[in-house]
Amino acid sequence: MYVIWDSDEGRTDTKPEDNHRLLRLVDAGSIEDWPHIVTDRYACFRKTMMDTFREEVGTTVYRTALDTAKEQYSITRDNHARKNPHIISEMLSNIWNSGVKSSTIEQIVSNIVSLTVS
């Protein structure tokens, strides 16, 4: 099993204790309020995975991919689209096919593949 979560730093409804519990669940060595790390067993993001993804591929590429996927699935709200696995998959596919890469996504996929092979 590979665990991925958003630490959600900066959101008003977020409690660092939730991240502490998740870090203990994955047997992380250190406990932080807003962890941001990719390991061979889990990945967590200081704010959100999509924020990290946008930073890596660039705002314009990200926005174009999000708008294209939203249109394809008839989703109008960004916050609904960013949590939809079909939208995320479509965005990743379109961005990958355009030649733009995300080192974080590549590392997560590599880690998951390694888990399935071993």
**Domain boundary assignment for the chain:** 1-48+102-118, 59-99
Indicate whether this model's pTM tops 0.75.
yes
pLDDT in tens, 38-68: 999 999 999 999 999 999 999 999 999 999 9
**Side-by-side strand order, sheet with 3-6:** 3-6, 42-45, 37-38
Could you read off the pLDDT of 80-114 as tens digits, one per residue?
998 899 999 999 999 999 999 999 999 999 999 99
What residues contact 24, with CB distance under 8 A and at least 6 apart? 31
Round to whole Å and give the CA distance between 9 and 89: 24
Alpha carbon distance 81, 85 (integer Å): 8
